[in-house]
Amino acid sequence: MTERAKTEVLISQHQIAVRVATLANEIAAALPKDMTIVSLLRGSFVFTADLIRALHAAGAQPQVEFMTLASYGRGTTSSGTVEIVRDMTESVEGRDVLIVDDILESGRTLTFARDLITGRGAKSVRIAVLLEKPGKRAVEIDADFVGFVVEDKFVVGYGLDYANRYRELPFIGVITA
């Protein structure tokens, strides 16, 4: 493999750990113990793994589901569509759901996920994102729980990728040339 571009730390491993613990406390206070987490793959798997352990420390006992969504046409058309690549396995009917995603940008992915889960009869649907980029929304949607608001730069690490690389970085970084 050729040498890949270097990265610069934007949010450190320690900053993430502190914030995730706080978020978990907020989530545990707002949702019933017996919530269903729907983690949107692939970007949110690292955040989800840390969040559920922090939720345990905060007294919650979540069920955990995974769903892979893909969005097309982002940035090129105004009507980017979202598709289910791999669905979750359990029913969300009557469940208090917390959708967990890596980053809220255009809002299309989370709008699709929220509407889908609502349509399947969830009792309540809340959204937690590690990162939010303001001013980039194509559809109006807000997350109930936000880890960090970041400026409009392409970020990688802690599950987030560039061309399916950099997910393993323990921090959130930006690619430097």
How far apart are CB 81 and ligand IMP at their closest, in Å? 11
If we measure between CA atoms, which residue out of 4, 10, 3, 20 comes closest to residue 162? 4
CA 176 to CA 89: how far, in whole Å?
A: 39
How far apart are CB 65 and ligand IMP at their closest, in Å? 17
How far apart are CB 54 and ligand IMP at their closest, in Å? 20
- Segment lying near ligand IMP (by CB under 6 A), choices 7-15, 27-35, 53-61, 149-157: 149-157
With beta carbons less than 8 A apart as the criterion, state whether 55 and 84 touch.
no
Binding positions for Mg ion, 39-68, rule CB under 5 A:
43
CA 154 to CA 109: how far, in whole Å?
A: 17
How far apart are CB 74 and ligand IMP at their closest, in Å? 6
**Among Mg ion, ligand IMP, none, partner that 77 touches (CB below 5 to 8 angstroms by kind):** none
**Among Mg ion, ligand IMP, none, partner that 105 touches (CB below 5 to 8 angstroms by kind):** ligand IMP
157 binds Mg ion (CB under 5 A): no
User: Between 96 and 105, whose beta carbon lies closer to ligand IMP?
Assistant: 105
Q: What is the size of the binding site for Mg ion (CB under 5 A)?
A: 1
**Among Mg ion, ligand IMP, none, partner that 167 touches (CB below 5 to 8 angstroms by kind):** none
Tokens of 124: 């309540």
If we measure between CA atoms, which residue out of 25, 12, 59, 17 comes closest to residue 145? 25
CA 121 to CA 98: how far, in whole Å?
A: 14
Binding positions for ligand IMP, 66-85, rule CB under 6 A:
71, 74
Q: Is 115 helix (H, G, I), strand (E, B) or coil?
A: helix
Cβ neighbours, 10 Å, residue 64 = 18
Please list the helix, strand and coil fractions of the chain in percent, rounded to the nearest 5, in that order. Answer: 25, 35, 40
**Contacting residues toward Mg ion, per CB under 5 A:** 43
**Contacting residues toward ligand IMP, per CB under 6 A:** 43, 71, 74, 101-109, 154-156, 160
